[in-house]
Amino acid sequence: MFHRSALPPRCFFASFRMSGAPGHQDDAWRARQGSNIIPIVITDGRWNRPAAGSHVGKVVVVTGAAGGMGRSVADLLSGRTGHHVLVVDLDGVLAAATARDLVAAGHEASAFHCDVADRESVFAAANHAMQFGQIELIVHAAGVAPPAVQDPAAILEVNLFGTIHVLDAFDPQRTGLRSAVVVASSGAYRSFSHPLDRELAHLAPGDGVIDSLLERADVIDRPVAAYALAKRGCLVQVARRCVDWGRLGARVNSVSPGLIADTPMGQRAAGGVASSMGIDSALGRAGLAREVAEVVTFLCSDRAAYVTGVDVLVDGGFVARANYDRPADERADWHAGGVQSHDRD
């Protein structure tokens, strides 16, 4: 059934509801869930549903693309690749608006509502993307962070297990994917989580896994530390998978931003205890989403054909300064997952 309710003008969508909602979510975060959205392809002002199994070109998938860093990545990749861009986001209405903006700028785009914490939803997004053609690239930018989400379990569910779902669903063996970039965080470099690297590398979704990990890492009541742990897991997952992906001719990398001033997440952090984090970077300022998107776009391109299994810090030198230009007590607190006025991320 097609409808226009609450969607931008001329955007038609079919919707259905997926089962298997995550068990740990803040109420405000849960309230933003709704139906998965299967779009009509948007090309040169006309609306066409892709035939099942048809391959009409190449596809770029960007999660979290309805705003913030994901939107900047979608804007850049749509212009530089010329491929169909599938805008994937938890907010279906904003995803539709983003796709419409890309089309208005002369690109081919569509939107899909997906909850990355829901494994079935992520696999549905991957299967849907394949209807548009060969999936060349995926950038996984969807995520949550304190202070917007304070439940450590929800943070791990979205940021860590969401990444696992995405990398599993878009595995090159099932999709033919050429390159993936996961957006992590400079918080992944807090060393308290590093002894858990092997466990993080081989995590598999299952009952009790999140609770066990929270307890082992001692982050049950520490949302900032849980965020750092989840992002560390992203780096480790990328490194662990690069060998298998390399055998298939595919690459996988990650990017770890510091404080980014012009994203909703960065603005929320900058209004709290992270207010001086940008000033405390080696460059003395916060970053911009476009600066991160440029690095992501490079990693997606053939110019980075020999780069895989690595993380690129895009933090203005914040971690370097934390390691080498901080008093010992501040450095120890940061690496232990604590919160100082200069470094919540």
- Any idea where the domains of the chain sit in the sequence? 2-335
Contact 59, 132 (CB under 8 A): yes
In this structure, which CATH number among 3.30.420.40, 2.40.170.20, 3.40.50.720, 3.50.50.60 belongs to the domain 2-335? 3.40.50.720
The Cα–Cα gap between 344 and 333 comes to: 11
The Cα–Cα gap between 77 and 276 comes to: 31
302's tokens: 């053939």
Is pTM beyond 0.85? Reply is no
Q: Are strands 134-140 and 46-48 parallel, antiparallel or unpaired?
A: unpaired
How far out from the chain centre does Cα 134 lie?
A: 21
Contact 139, 61 (CB under 8 A): yes
User: Which residues, other chains included, contact 73 with Cβ-Cβ below 8 Å and sequence gap of 6+?
Assistant: 62, 65, 139, 141, 292, 293, 296, 297
Contact 94, 122 (CB under 8 A): no
How far out from the chain centre does Cα 172 lie?
A: 18
User: Which residues, other chains included, contact 170 with Cβ-Cβ below 8 Å and sequence gap of 6+?
Assistant: 61, 126, 135, 138, 177, 180
Amino acid 209: pLDDT = 95
pLDDT 10s digit of each residue in the chain, 345 long? 223 233 333 333 333 223 333 334 444 444 444 444 444 444 333 333 444 443 358 999 999 999 999 999 999 999 999 999 999 999 999 999 999 999 999 999 999 999 999 999 999 999 999 999 999 999 999 999 999 999 999 999 999 999 999 999 999 999 999 999 999 999 999 988 899 999 999 998 888 999 999 999 999 999 999 999 999 999 999 999 999 999 999 999 999 999 998 877 766 665 544 445 567 899 999 999 999 999 999 999 999 999 999 999 999 999 999 999 988 998 888 898 764 323 333
Question: By C-alpha distance, which of 191, 103, 196 is closest to 156?
Answer: 196
